[in-house]
Chain A
């Protein structure tokens, strides 16, 4: 049964009473909250996601979003994210509850999932090959990712590239794409049919909104895929779209720098990264117009097998 099978009031009721068991990618999250903006965001952006029945009984993560137990309950109310009953971050203004859910779900993955090398990157796929787009905040990675998935690329993730240690494949975790500030309107105009959560202002990242993942990407969330390209995007106003080859050894170090758990995985981290870089053509990519970027990406070809 999908989330959309529940009416908004049923969803709110379940979230408050027993919680829901939500499947995203290959992970099951038990989520409980009485905060209505979270219920609304879930109903809108997670409509196509599977709800697992409670009797199956195992959730990877148990999280809840609650009002902190202090005077802030009534004066400038706040929201607290609890991981299995323990707060993991400082409280945020109540208005930011849905973005906090998204950030919290990312935290759950990046802090636990150690059978994968986890890179702070977007991942998109076309024709059986994936492109990893690592980038520090502000490089325009999410905007580019949102554009690509609205032009025929499959979304694996907008934040977390999960590279399986056992075979080097990327495992999908398609979830709402996080956009901020000007990017929100840019993508709204670029794809008028895209579904957005309401904008939340004054967060630590500025004004944020989340775009629903394409239904096809959600439906194919069990299809792991080989990597073919590692592309470091950089939005530069007025720039011509330009792919510049990056030496693989340099790409290795930069991707490692953008990883959550490269160091933690030790020798397996090194081996997984070696395999990833070996299999990839690596580029720096500068762009300003989304259509130019789509065209360049469309012409990408995987490398001929070397090793």
Chain B
């Protein structure tokens, strides 16, 4: 009975083209409208944003528009509380990168920063109001041992000592097991590719690294070129098993696209690069959901070009229903009866994309029955 309801709901919703209109989305799309919010609405928005790790971001969006004074004092206090945390995180990232540079100075390896660390050092918009958990870098595969050794010499230690986990990361995935500094307890993820060896898609990481650009004022720190940064962000989001940071990741993509749109030929480069690296599908999804959920301004020419990465119409109906639920914050007020199912389906999808079926079955079995569970 429920199966038929699902089909009916999906078709009905697609016909109505219903996009969720939660407060958090309103806040991100049109921050100016927040000055008209009632106190109960502020209460709910603060909770949604906190759950999505976007509270500090909203604080900054309002501050940049000179609207913070118009927020009632109680919600404004909450916004400022979260800004304190994000400022501390930013200070910590700067310092951590200073120490990583010191540690890797003699390894003779170009350090390319990824994701949050890259946004902070390059001063891109997604850095604003951001909370960080670890630092991600990418190095050539051949240099992995030297990098690991240099980090260990300077106080980072391997985590995930379980033999299965070690093999998972080193043999099948695209990174070393996360390394944690013994004193500072900070974590660094050292990647050698943006997708696992076992994945169906194989974007050429050497090309990405070759196109990486030095940061202003540094001779030892690089970030991906603009189009590559967007593509990496898209791949990261649409291949990620856990989507509880999904909206934040989409907000990153929105921020990058708005920022880079001012560069000449950016959209053209993005389309060409996606073709070149065979990343048309994740790019299609990134642009589609950025527009549908955040009203990101994207030229129609780009949307046309991105259609080459579009899945078949039936699949698209399903993925819309799945992502438009799973990308929402994990808060009761942003979910319906299908949300839990959507997250579970996308978890399996992401793991499927990472590994071939037999390996996937073995991995899921191991995770379910053998791996120690968190207490």
Chain A interface residues toward B at CB < 8 A: 28, 56-60, 62, 84-86, 90, 112-115, 263-266, 268
10 other A-B residue contacts (CB within 8 Å) besides A58-B74, A114-B82, A265-B88: A56-B39, A57-B39, A58-B42, A113-B81, A114-B84, A115-B77, A115-B81, A115-B84, A264-B85, A266-B84
Is A114 a contact partner of B42 (Cβ separation < 8 A)? no
Quick check: is B87 within 8 A (CB to CB) of the other chain?
A: yes
Quick check: is B40 within 8 A (CB to CB) of the other chain?
A: yes
Nearest Cβ distance between residue B63 and chain A, in whole angstroms?
15
Of B74, B80, B91, the residue contacting A60 (CB under 8 A) is B74
Q: Which chain B residues border A90 with CB–CB below 8 Å?
A: 375
Cα separation A211 to B375 with both chains bound (whole Å): 33
Q: Would A62 and B74 be within 8 Å (CB), given that A57-B40, A115-B81 are in contact?
A: no
In the complex, the 3 A-B pairs of residues with the closest C-beta atoms, listed nearest first = A57-B40, A114-B84, A57-B39
- For B74, the closest partner residue in chain A by CB is A58
Is B78 a contact partner of A57 (Cβ separation < 8 A)? no
Is A85 a contact partner of B331 (Cβ separation < 8 A)? yes
Residues of B43-99 at the interface with A, using a CB-CB cut-off of 8 Å, are: 43, 47, 50-51, 72, 74-75, 77-78, 80-82, 84-85, 87-88, 91
Nearest Cβ distance between residue A169 and chain B, in whole angstroms?
16
Task: Tell me the count of chain B residues lying within 8 A, CB to CB, of chain A.
Answer: 24
Q: Which chain B residues border A114 with CB–CB below 8 Å?
A: 80-82, 84-85
- Which secondary structure characterizes the binding site on chain A? loop
Cα separation A195 to B180 with both chains bound (whole Å): 49
Quick check: is B33 within 8 A (CB to CB) of the other chain?
A: no
Cα separation A250 to B47 with both chains bound (whole Å): 40
Is A264 a contact partner of B78 (Cβ separation < 8 A)? no
Is A266 a contact partner of B74 (Cβ separation < 8 A)? no
Cα separation A56 to B73 with both chains bound (whole Å): 13
- For B81, the closest partner residue in chain A by CB is A114
Nearest Cβ distance between residue B44 and chain A, in whole angstroms?
9
Is B43 a contact partner of A58 (Cβ separation < 8 A)? yes
Is B40 a contact partner of A58 (Cβ separation < 8 A)? yes
Of B43, B47, B81, B375, the residue contacting A57 (CB under 8 A) is B43
Nearest Cβ distance between residue A80 and chain B, in whole angstroms?
15
Cα separation A62 to B50 with both chains bound (whole Å): 12
Cα separation A56 to B39 with both chains bound (whole Å): 7
Q: Which chain B residues border A58 with CB–CB below 8 Å?
A: 39-40, 42-43, 72, 74-75
Q: Which chain A residues border B40 with CB–CB below 8 Å?
A: 57-58
Cα separation A268 to B78 with both chains bound (whole Å): 17
